[in-house]
Structure 1
């Protein structure tokens, strides 16, 4: 009551002085709730404020965020963002899959940006997926790699296949490579990890396959294609030609050869354009027991001969 009387006297005083304004006495209105769509829009604005737009960052946005965000916005409709809502959406994906992990990672970042609490609940749903859980038995032998290369009749596709095999390139990188310092290949800075040099494994492959001469297939609108689309075109050729393994497996086989040749992890990672952690955790997961035995025999033979 005392507070009300004080307020009444203050209003009366303002009226006497002709200074009364209703806006000063209106009760504070509850702030409008911000929907998932609102937060996604804010996140995107902040994302590009912190990064320069180039082919690499655009590809990352499209391959990760642009896959998850529109589906989450559609699922949420006009609902306010919350951890519970994110968990419901995540629960629609299959556990222990790459898709589940991607959704958890992306929406976890969105939740952190929106300053939500209990984000560990989202992280716990990521499951046990890891690129390293694949079986090394799915990789072709080097003999099989060479045999399938010889079956390709188109010179452009044969060159692309050979470059992926001998240099361990990411599929799209064959369109951003120069061979001026042959047998060293140099990838331009238009790729995922920027400019780098690569040594061939095996050196005899690049000689016998004449990889020094760049020969590309006639692809429509190739210059206007993103790295992701270029990679998809190569995967499509492998599928149409019925090659029994995807193009990325040639890169994994290059990593296997790095190990067989005794390259240190940091040296192999440098050639392949990724971190030492990725090289050891992901790529070495593709190495089977037979490869370890081969390296062991080579090292012990060298030791005894010395």
Structure 2
């Protein structure tokens, strides 16, 4: 057997084995560990900027893993003597190989020889493969396929390798057609966590509510609908549409401007109103008549407990339902009465100190009965949608029992109370799961005139008290000096 045939057989044998063990490996198995040891940066404050920081950190992790897998793929190709390598150019992957001359291409001249050239040349083949992990799997498969053609000397230039099909304009899909594969595409570059699933569910909801699914996914169609809205609604559509465009690499950016929105005024409840509203749950239960909804017979006690926890700790509602650590809450070792927020929530894990410790007893927050109901509710949670339902149920119960403010107002009240209590901003922000900047910017807008009066009054009262104490101390010192003089006088008289 000639050396040429021997080499050909070796390449074919390598290809066959590799195709079975590597090239045809399922992408889920091949890249299953992409986020195995990755703990993304928490948003820390729940703000848009914080969320984007987390997204950026995840994207950098994804890119690092992608680059590592690309190196591994080329190492495997080289080790198995496949005469193809994979390279990244911008957002695409190309196959690099030495091939017979492309039709109409001139052979490169040999050094010092103007009359003849090589019959082969190195080419970078663009097959329209995206530079992501799913695309890398495709590129690996194509590399082995091309390697087989090279080894068998059967390679021919066709539309595929000439790039004719990949250069053809892609058919524009409808928004509904994009949604059919949105989940698959979205999670190719993201972790599938409770938080990311909740975010994705919101994207889907926003798109379905506001965009006709039969419309083509074009720049003009998106912009027309977005510009028909104003304020927060418009800003939300810009953000969600931008994610959709980036996920599917639609090839355009939106020429729309976000609106500057002034938050609506909120009346934050005073402590007396918070305490009195706690009793409305039991009043509702006592006054309810002829209900056939058995699930609501005792659940009011759980929702009252939820109310008390929100008021005492300033938690986000979701932070009570995502894998609540009830054992720690009820543990005798929990002497500081802290609540542990699960790492899969919006801003990650934190241990929260009660803003009003005395309310734990006042609201009976260690009562095991509502906690058992909570455990049963949480055990039934099978998806992010279930958590969202429970979060909406809180608002429903507030309205049902006659509470005149919103669940989130209890969180704002804790932020304001922290300042009135003199708690340092950094400590209050950390307790609420915010950066200092976000805490100051977002929550202090609810610090109205009445609370300012309180704050000023407290400071003035404290200053007055300090001045009074200083005067008392000065008077005592003067009296002390007078008594010393009297003693000296008596001593002088005795000596005489």
Once residues 435 and 212 of structure 2 are traced to their aligned partners in structure 1, the CA distance between those partners, rounded to angstroms, is 36
For the residue of structure 1 that corresponds to 2:170, the secondary structure is coil
| Pairwise CA distance, 1:46 | 4.4
Give the aligned partner of residue 191 of structure 1.
345
Higher relative contact order (CA 8 A, sep 6+): 1
Give the aligned partner of residue 448 of structure 2.
288
Residue 134 to residue 88, structure 1, CA distance change in 2 (3 Å): same
| 1:69 is aligned to 2:215 | no
> Bigger CA drift: 34-43 or 50-59?
34-43
| Pairwise CA distance, 1:270 | 0.9
Listed one character per residue, the Cα deviations across residues 228-251 of structure 1 (whole Å, up to 9, x for unaligned) are 122112122112112111212111
Listed one character per residue, the Cα deviations across residues 83-108 of structure 1 (whole Å, up to 9, x for unaligned) are x2211121343x11x32221111113
Give the aligned partner of residue 129 of structure 1.
261
For residue 104 of structure 1, the aligned residue among 222, 235, 238 is 238
For residue 162 of structure 1, the aligned residue among 289, 293, 308 is 308
Listed one character per residue, the Cα deviations across residues 199-255 of structure 1 (whole Å, up to 9, x for unaligned) are 222222112222233424847754233331221121221121121112121111111
CA contact under 8 A between 2:280 and 2:401: conserved in structure 1?
Answer: no
Question: Larger Cα Rg: Structure 1 or Structure 2?
Answer: 2
| Pairwise CA distance, 1:260 | 1.3
Matches of residues 218-233 of structure 1 in structure 2 within 5 Å?
218=373, 222-225=378-381, 226=384, 227-233=387-393
For residue 140 of structure 1, the aligned residue among 262, 269, 272 is 269
TM-score w.r.t. the length of structure 2 is 0.50
Once residues 236 and 217 of structure 1 are traced to their aligned partners in structure 2, the CA distance between those partners, rounded to angstroms, is 21
| Pairwise CA distance, 1:141 | 1.4
Gaps of 5+ in 1: 1-6, 8-19
Matches of residues 1-306 of structure 1 in structure 2 within 5 Å?
28=164, 30-37=168-175, 44-63=183-202, 65-71=203-209, 74-75=212-213, 77=215, 79-82=216-219, 84-93=220-229, 95-96=230-231, 98-112=232-246, 114=249, 116-117=251-252, 119=254, 121-122=255-256, 124=257, 126-129=258-261, 133-136=263-266, 138-153=267-282, 154-175=300-321, 176-178=324-326, 179=329, 180=331, 181=334, 182-214=336-368, 215-216=370-371, 218=373, 222-225=378-381, 226=384, 227-306=387-466
CA contact under 8 A between 1:101 and 1:127: conserved in structure 2?
Answer: yes
CA contact under 8 A between 1:160 and 1:216: conserved in structure 2?
Answer: no
CA contact under 8 A between 2:174 and 2:213: conserved in structure 1?
Answer: no
Give the aligned partner of residue 87 of structure 2.
none
**RMSD (Å) for aligned C-alpha atoms:** 3.2
Residue 71 to residue 151, structure 1, CA distance change in 2 (3 Å): closer
Residue 206 to residue 172, structure 1, CA distance change in 2 (3 Å): same
Once residues 21 and 204 of structure 1 are traced to their aligned partners in structure 2, the CA distance between those partners, rounded to angstroms, is 80
Gaps of 5+ in 2: 1-103, 105-155, 283-299, 467-496
Once residues 440 and 157 of structure 2 are traced to their aligned partners in structure 1, the CA distance between those partners, rounded to angstroms, is 69
Residue 81 to residue 57, structure 1, CA distance change in 2 (3 Å): same
How many residues matched?
Answer: 278
Once residues 301 and 196 of structure 2 are traced to their aligned partners in structure 1, the CA distance between those partners, rounded to angstroms, is 32
Once residues 239 and 274 of structure 1 are traced to their aligned partners in structure 2, the CA distance between those partners, rounded to angstroms, is 28
CA contact under 8 A between 1:198 and 1:271: conserved in structure 2?
Answer: yes
Residue 34 to residue 73, structure 1, CA distance change in 2 (3 Å): farther
| Pairwise CA distance, 1:191 | 2.4
Residue 118 to residue 56, structure 1, CA distance change in 2 (3 Å): closer
| Pairwise CA distance, 1:40 | 5.5
CA contact under 8 A between 1:255 and 1:283: conserved in structure 2?
Answer: yes
Once residues 189 and 223 of structure 1 are traced to their aligned partners in structure 2, the CA distance between those partners, rounded to angstroms, is 18
Listed one character per residue, the Cα deviations across residues 178-208 of structure 1 (whole Å, up to 9, x for unaligned) are 4231422222224222221122222221122
For the residue of structure 2 that corresponds to 1:186, the secondary structure is strand
